[in-house]
Amino acid sequence: MNDTISLFNAAPDTAVTNHTAIVELFDPPMCCPTGLCGPELDQTLLDVSEMIMALQAEGTAVERYQMTSHPHKFMNNNDVMRLVREQQLAALPITAVRGQVIKVGAYPTLEELQTYLNNA
């Protein structure tokens, strides 16, 4: 992973706040959808999988995308594509909540996501 981390403070799009919260993770290229298939476990990816399970247990819809298997998801999010064009793979992973990019270059923690979801 890289060391570039930024947490966006932009307010979520109020037009979609009445719907189920949606967290989207735009992953860097990995060997499988979770990245947990190699001979050695990556603790960061294990933490992300646990975070996703915790969010889903709270009723939060979470989706994960990889550029090779979900290119349309990248292409349909203008902010994600702008970041990928500007920073290339260094921008990934990118996290969006309700379509709003909230973190670039690293996965958020469960606490970061819960704070953002609770303040939205």
What CATH architecture is 6-119?
3-Layer(aba) Sandwich (3.40)
Extract the tokens encoding 33.
């959808």
For residue 62, list its beta bridge partners.
Answer: 23
- Give pairs for 73-79: CB < 8 Å, separation 24+: 73/24, 73/26, 74/26, 77/24, 77/26, 77/101
pLDDT the model gives residue 61: 95
Torsion (CA) 47, 82, 8, 48 in degrees, nearest 10? -10
Q: How many Cβ atoms are within 10 Å of 96's Cβ, its own excluded? A: 23
Q: Please give the C-alpha separations between residue 9 and each of 12, 53, 80, in angstroms, as whole numbers.
A: 9, 25, 16
**Could you tell me the pTM of the whole model?**
0.78
Task: Give mean pLDDT in consecutive 10-residue pieces for the chain, a chain of 120 residues.
Answer: 40 41 88 70 89 94 92 94 96 94 96 87
Q: What is the pLDDT of residues 89-98, one digit of tens each?
A: 999 999 999 8
pLDDT the model gives residue 57: 94
Residues 48 and 44: their CA atoms lie apart, in Å, by 6
**Domain residue spans in the chain?**
6-119
